[in-house]
Amino acid sequence: MTQHFTLPTHKNDPHRKVAYVNARLFDAESGLDEKGTLLTIGDTIADFGAHLTNDKLPQGVEIVDCKGHLLSPGLLDIQVHFREPGQEHKETIATGSKSAASGGVTLVACMPNTRPVIDDAAVVAFIHKRAQETAYVNVRTYAAITKGQKGDEITEMGLLKEAGAVGFTDDGLPVMNAGVMRKALTYARELGVPVAQHAEDLNLSCGACMNEGKISAQLGVAGAPNAAEAVMVERDIILAELTGGQYHVLHISTAEAIDAVRRAKKKGLRVTAEAAPHHFILTDEAVLGYRTFSKMNPPLRAEKDRLAIIEGLKDGTIDAIATDHAPHDQESKRVPLSSAAFGIVGLETMLPLSLTLYHKGIMPLRDVLAAMTYKPADIIHVPAGRLKKGARADLTLIDLDLEWAIDPKQFVSRSLNSPFDNWPTKGRAIRTIVGGETVYELR
HSE of 105, CA atoms in CB hemisphere, 13 A: 34
User: Which residue in the list 77, 319, 324, 394 is annotated as catalytic?
Assistant: 324
Instruction: Report the first-to-last Cα separation within the chain, whole angstroms.
Output: 5
- CA of 97: how far to CAs of 71, 282, 332, 345, 390, in Å? 20, 25, 22, 12, 25
Of 434, 441, 440, nearest to 391 by C-alpha is 434
Query: The dihedral of CA 308, 310, 312, 314: what is its sign?
Result: negative
Please, is 221 exposed, middle or buried when counting C-beta atoms within 10 Å of its C-beta (0-12, 13-18, 19+)?
Answer: middle
**Is 236 marked active-site?**
no
Active centre residues (catalytic)? 324
